[in-house]
Structure 1
Amino acid sequence: MHLLRSVLHTLFMAVTVVPWALAVLIAAPFLNSTQIYWMCAGWLKLAVRSGELILGIRNQVIGYENLPVGSTAPAVLLLKHQSTWETFCMPALMPHPLAYVFKKELLYVPFFGWAMARMDMIHIDRSKRAQAFNKVVEQGRRLLKQGTWVIMFPEGTRIERGQKGQYKSGGTRLAVETGAPVIPIAVTSAKCWPRKAFIRKPGTVEFSIGKPIPSEGRQPDELMREVEAWIEAEMRRLDPSAYRDV
């Protein structure tokens, strides 16, 4: 049953992304960046809703009150990364436009990547590290000023359930450079959608939003250690069975 549901959800996303992406490409010249974002976020909301109906995956969000208030209030969101699910969910769950920092190769994915290329996000060339970070700061500062929140996965890639990757300081460096607060977020998506797994299981994914951590006067590495400590402690609280042998 789980396999059948997973196949149906994959087919649903594949079938719906094509007309949605084409609509974005056609409409993009006539829309501003915010309108394009919410148009693309509409498909992500559809993907999440179909995940609820077809896969039986439910989201539970803890800590909405910790998000900054105000249309131009800046924030750098730093998330635990366990699966594709949170990548789809965050634009569907957050009240502000988000700008992901991602590798430019994703822009070449048919339809999905083509639509992403029309969005005001930060795509980088990982082979040029110094230039890549300069681009993150330059574009991140502009986006934060206009009320778009920058979202990054500090471990860099999807991590197995119950495991911890190496936290990199790029997100906190951006926060320190721009003065934006950091919002740590723990996510238990691997309980339902494991890393690199095709078969997904029904259940509840918790998104726990931590209190804003001021970045002014902080050192990026020291700030990232605080973010890491909060996320990993929260992961153990939310999903204790996954950490019994760790």
Structure 2
Amino acid sequence: MSSLFELFVVTLILALPFLYETNKVFRYYLKFFVYYGVVLVNSLLVLPIMAWRPQDVKNLILASSMCRFISGLVGLKWELRGQDLLEKQQACVIVANHQSSLDILGMFEMWPVMEKCTVVAKKELFYAWPFGLAAWLCGLIFIDRLNTDQARQTINKATLNLKEKQIKMWVFPEGTRHNTGTIMPFKKGAFHVAIMGQIPVLPVVFSSYYFLNSETKEFNPGRIIVTALPPISTKSLTPQDVESLMNRTRECMLDVFDKTSAEVLTSTLPTPMYQ
């Protein structure tokens, strides 16, 4: 019986590289399995360390340092532009386009640069332990998206802490993930926070995830350009300016998204053998 089991294991191991190279569906699920699996294991490993300084955003630097290698495992290369804007120690609201859970891998590349940055996340994420507990220890802000008043109170309270401790707050203003080749309309919450706190909005743009398709189950190697844009001041703005600020931010992000997406797509095209 044991010999049959050993034969099965050996056969399975030998078949994995073949399946990976020839079956795109297998490759798609395997990459996400590796991604989520490593994050969950690392979440368990860092819990005892993070418990010594609970809800400290600098815990995210430790978490990111242990997870950055995942990008190499799944074939992703990140290129950060505008690093100096993220390095500046200031309270601000970072707004970024949201295409996939892979965005977190890009954020792992950026946390050592940003140093102090928290994230607004849906409260359901907290219950996905051990990751949710690790996220809480890292100072993430969990909100109930179905309870607008309570969510607003939670963020308003957090904004005072941001200003006092010079912490950045990362928000995905589209609300949910959309890998559609564009940036979807924004929700107003992040811009209300920026204006009420009189802190700048700092746009961050991830180029298109051309390598990923959840419908056809494709997850190929890819290059992503992440661009930090100059902060947009909210000084002297009032709640009546929320929509104009939101539209202005989205327009500048769309322009950069289109340009950087075209750049990465061009760089992936095969070079002609004959000119």
The TM-score normalised by the length of structure 1 is 0.84
Candidates 151, 154, 159, aligned match of 1:135: 154
**Separation of aligned partners in 2, 1:186 and 1:55:** 21
CA 111–127 in structure 1, closer or farther in 2 if over 3 Å, else same: same
Matched, 1:98 2:120: no
SS at match of 1:12: helix
Residue 166 of structure 2 aligns to a residue whose secondary structure is coil
Q: How many angstroms does 1:217 deviate by?
A: 1.6
Which runs of no fewer than 5 residues in structure 1 stay unpaired? none
State the SS of the aligned residue for 2:38: helix
1:42 maps to a residue whose letter is S
Could you tell me which residue of structure 2 aligns to residue 51 of structure 1? 71
Any idea what the Cα deviations from partners look like across 1:172-209, whole Å, max 9, x if unmatched?
A: 11111112111111112422334677531112111111
Preserved contact between residue 44 and residue 89 of structure 1 (Cα < 8 Å): no
Match of 2:174, SS? Answer: coil
Could you tell me which residue of structure 2 aligns to residue 29 of structure 1? 51
Cα distance in 2 for residues equivalent to 1:34 and 1:11: 27
Cα distance, 1:62 vs. partner? 1.8
Partner of 1:217: helix, strand, or coil?
coil
**Residue of structure 1 in register with 2:39 after alignment:** 17
| Match among 199, 202, 208 for residue 183 of structure 1 | 202
Higher RCO structure (Cα 8 Å, ≥6 apart): 1
1:34: Cα distance to partner?
A: 4.1
* 214-223 or 89-98, larger mean C-alpha shift: 89-98
Aligned to 2:65: 42
Structure 2: runs of 5+ lacking an equivalent: 1-20, 265-275
What pairs up with 1:1-246 in 2 under 5 angstroms? 1=21, 2-3=24-25, 5-31=27-53, 33-45=56-68, 49-52=69-72, 54-67=73-86, 69-70=88-89, 73-94=90-111, 95=113, 96-194=115-213, 199-218=218-237, 219-240=241-262
| Letter of the 2:145 counterpart | R
After TM superposition, the structure 1 stretch with the greater mean CA deviation from structure 2, 2-11 or 184-193, is 2-11
Further displaced range: 168-177 or 25-34 = 25-34
- CA positional deviation for 1:8: 4.3
- Aligned in 2, Cα 1:20/1:240: closer, same or farther, shift over 3 Å? closer
Work out the CA distance in 2 between the residues paired with 1:118 and 1:81.
23
Partner SS for 2:218: coil
- Tell me if structure 1 keeps the 8 A contact 2:182–2:254: no
Could you tell me the TM-score, scaled by structure 2's length? 0.76
Report percent identity of matched pairs: 21
Cα distance change on mapping 1:34 and 1:81 into 2, 3 Å:
closer
Specify the SS of the correspondent of 2:51: helix
**Aligned 8 A contact 1:67 1:211 in 2:** no
Q: Deviations over 1:193-238 (max 9, x none)?
A: 3467753111211111111110112222111111011011111222
Q: Is the Cα contact below 8 Å between 2:85 and 2:230 reproduced in 1?
A: yes
The structure-2 alpha-carbon separation of the partners of 1:241 and 1:88, relative to structure 1 and needing over 3 Å to count, comes to closer
Q: For 2:170, what is the secondary structure of its paired residue?
A: strand
Partner SS, residue 190 of structure 1: coil
Letter in 1 for 2:62: M
Q: Which amino acid aligns with 1:36?
A: N
**Amino acid aligned to 1:188:** S
Q: Is the Cα contact below 8 Å between 2:57 and 2:140 reproduced in 1?
A: no
CA distance in structure 2 between the aligned counterparts of 1:202 and 1:99, rounded to whole angstroms: 29
Q: Give the length in aligned residue pairs.
A: 236
